Amino acid sequence: MSERLMVLPAEHFEHIHVLRMPDDMEEHEAFRHVTGVIASVQENNVDCSWEDVAEALEEHGFEEVTFILGPELECR
């Protein structure tokens, strides 16, 4: 089975993050789960950082993946 990854997009490229999804979670479930975890962290700590969010996501089976940003594509 191939790796399933989720990209957390951002307006500024330095804030983009990529997560490895848990094997036992379907895509739509993972999307809702990550949305809920992020909202919960932000609700409990208005001044939260990415590290706070990443820690909470790890507790739920999501793992941050190191990546490099490639060149921007002009074609579709």
Instruction: Please report the pLDDT score of residue 22 as a whole number.
Output: 96
d(CA 50, CA 12): 14
Report whether pLDDT(72) > 90. Answer: no
pLDDT over 70, % of the chain: 99
pLDDT digits (tens, 9 = 90+) for 42-71: 999 999 999 999 999 999 999 999 999 999
Structure tokens at 1: 């089975």
Q: Which residue, 12, 15, 1, is CA-closest to 67?
A: 15
Helix (H), strand (E), coil (C) string for 4-26 = CEEEECCCCHHHCEEEECCCCCC
pLDDT digits (tens, 9 = 90+) for 21-43: 999 999 999 999 999 999 999 99
Instruction: Please report the pLDDT score of residue 76 as a whole number.
Output: 79
d(CA 9, CA 25): 20
